[in-house]
Chains A and B, each alone.
Chain A
Amino acid sequence: MTATESLEKQFDETIARNDRIEPRDWMPEKYRKTLIRQVAQHAHSEIIGMQPEGNWITRAPSLRRKAILLAKVQDEAGHGLYLYSACETLGVSRRELTELLIEGQQKYSSIFNYPTLSYADVGTIGWLVDGAAICNQVPLCRTSYGPYGRSMIRICKEESFHQRQGFELLATMMRGTDEQRAMVQESVDRFWWPALMMFGPPDADSPNTEQSMAWGIKRDTNDELRQKFVDMTVPQAEALGVTLPDPSLVWNEERGHHDFGQPDWDEFMRVVKGGGPCNAQRIAHRRHAHEDGAWVREAATAFAAKGASA
């Protein structure tokens, strides 16, 4: 056995035991690359995801809601921070990753390319988008790469508060005026299908799933997670008193799951490729913040260097 083969064998055994790979462990180059792609995409999603809800911070209709929303968006910045740190253990810096994002070379979750058009969207994003994120992310708490899995445990706890806060906002609005109820329904109508798209294309069309599952980077297929999300959400929608905009949504006694319709996958591909309602706007916003802040980051670096040499 060559040295590489024996390292590979050790790596495979660690994965098979469901143990974690740590930054100083040997790992196949493709595993490292796949992880960087996944963790960076996740970090970017947290940061870009600040924008759609951040859009309503200055207009939150009560001081309590303003505090909850600002704290939530701040949490997302914190999530981005942990995930960029996890990514840095794989040998890429936050700055490099941010530049790849604003050059369009790395992706983020397509859900954030949809606009927030009413205050109800703040609740709907918490309920459905953070809810879908939880379904995607809870299995990642057991992902094979240690720093990623540990960040996910912390992040998942906070995402679940976000989901409940979103649900609680919608439930409160549903007890309010007719106009408020209509706002909630309209918002759920807009976000339902994009939320289902968050789990990615159907398994048959998902090229990376198989290898990622074998490496323990991913733990469930897209379709399994989507099913779990639908099953979890239907009773919550009933409790809220909103209708999910899918005429084929029905409980299937035999399967013990809900049957449901397929999102418009052509729309999904269009948004992924940059043709969603807000793709350009989200990247431009991030680019401005990054470029406008360059002189401040440079000042901090220069100041720290003076301190070190003094």
Chain B
Amino acid sequence: MTTESGFHDSVYDEDLLGGDASHWAFGTSFEDPLAGVDTTIPDGVDPEELAAYCLMLGDDALIYSHRLSEWCSRAPDLEEDIALANIALDLLGQARLLLARAAAASPAVVPAMPEGSPVPPEDALAFFRPDAQFRSTRLVEPDNGDFAVTIVRLLLFSTWRLALLERLASSRDQVLAAIAAKGVKEVTYHRDYAGRWFLTLAQGTDESRSRLLAALPPVFAFHEELFTDHPVETSVAAAGVGVAPSDVAAEVAVILEQVFSVSGVERHDVPQIGPVAGGTGRDGRHTEALSHLLAEMQSVARAHPLGVW
């Protein structure tokens, strides 16, 4: 047993308030997953299209991360609070890298900021873009609903995204390939988490099963949009830097079928959400929920366009 003052002073002064910066949460000493990666745009790739594609994947992650973060302090138990925040943090990390890649590929996508603004491109894109310039798929936009809706949406989203990222890991764009390789590990966990809860809710109580079944139609209404190729996706896929979502439809269906059958849940076709004036999320035609979400998310940043945070 150490002496009273000795123990006290050492814990207090060195370990706690000393100068070891490696213990700051990420943001200051956070490892750059792109360190050493070749950032030149591969031959034959249109930078505008690459930027638009990065915004699509980045906006999906950003908006969904925002939704999941709304569970913080509200989840059914502390373990779930922590897990959902973890998933939100992973997606936020992916969003930051993808928005930064979009800005680097084509600076024209970054909204113009007032003279002297210190706002970095990732934040200009997240906080100063109007809703119609977001390219998120509509699945990620509506409110969370109850825990069953959250789990069903997480299962569908992460199964879809994992399939995309697995292919994207061999993109000709070294930056996208590195982002995807990191994302595969994260989203694999997200999908497993959602799958475990899907099974638990399906087999738990009568109430949890009926809530799960009720959650299927509103979430799966966005299914078709996930696998409909946007011209940008078709083009970046042809150039070997992106993935056409229709190419992963079959493998996603197989995984979902496994989860449903293990859980004893039948999958029925549900009515699909139609386009708006011929467009969907990828075209900037969103749900009503998105502009509310952005009004909240962007409020402080927009009040201080010259602010530094």
Query: Could you list which residues of chain A lie within 8 angstroms of chain B, going by C-beta atoms?
Result: 17-19, 47, 50-51, 54, 56-68, 70-75, 77-78, 80-81, 84, 94, 119, 134, 138-139, 141-142, 153, 156-157, 160-161, 164-165, 168-169, 172-173, 175-177, 179-180, 285, 288-289, 292-300, 302-303, 306
Contact = CB atoms under 8 A, between A and B. Distances in A.
11 contacts: A47-B78, A62-B309, A63-B122, A74-B82, A74-B86, A138-B16, A153-B11, A172-B308, A285-B73, A293-B77, A296-B208
A64 B123 CA distance: 9
A157 B69 CA distance: 24
A119 B17 contact: no
A67 B93 contact: yes
B216 to A, nearest CB: 16
A58 B66 contact: yes
Given A58-B70, A119-B300, 4 more contacts: A47-B78, A77-B73, A296-B77, A303-B199
A71 B23 CA distance: 13
Contacts of B299: 59
Nearest to A64: B27
Contact of A77 (B81, B99, B200, B296): B81
B96 A293 contact: no
Contacts of B66: 58
Contacts of A77: 73, 78, 81-82, 85
Nearest to A71: B25
B85 A65 contact: no
Nearest to A66: B92
Contacts of A138: 8, 11-12, 16
Interface string B1-29: 10010011001100111000001111110
B3 to A, nearest CB: 9
A297 B82 contact: no
B74 interface: yes
Nearest to A285: B73
Contacts of B304: 61, 176-177, 179-180
A306 to B, nearest CB: 6
Interface residues of B, number: 67
Contact of B24 (A47, A81, A161, A294): A161
A73 B70 contact: no
B265 interface: no
Contacts of A153: 11
A73 B11 contact: no
B69 A180 contact: no
Contacts of A59: 296-297, 299-300
A298 B207 contact: yes
A299 B80 CA distance: 14
B297 to A, nearest CB: 6
B301 interface: yes
A119 B302 CA distance: 13
Contacts of A51: 73
B88 interface: yes
A156 B7 CA distance: 14
Given A59-B299, A67-B26, A176-B308, A296 B93 contact: no
Contacts of A161: 23-25
B74 A67 contact: no
A177 B79 contact: no
A163 B12 CA distance: 13
B82 A71 contact: no
B205 A139 contact: no
B76 interface: yes
Contacts of A47: 73, 78
Contacts of A18: 1, 4
A70 B72 contact: yes
Contact of B307 (A19, A164, A165, A179): A179
B26 A68 contact: yes
A71 B147 CA distance: 21
Q: List the 10 closest A-B pairs by CB distance, nearest first.
A: A293-B76, A299-B204, A299-B208, A296-B76, A74-B85, A61-B301, A160-B16, A61-B300, A176-B308, A50-B73
B126 interface: yes
Interface in B239-293: none
Contacts of B7: 142
A70 B88 contact: yes
Nearest to A138: B12
B205 A172 contact: no
B129 interface: no
Given A58-B69, A177-B306, A78 B208 contact: no
Contacts of A60: 300
A292 B85 contact: no
Interface in B54-94: 62, 66, 69-70, 72-82, 85-86, 88-89, 92-93
B25 A156 contact: no
B143 interface: no
B73 A299 contact: no
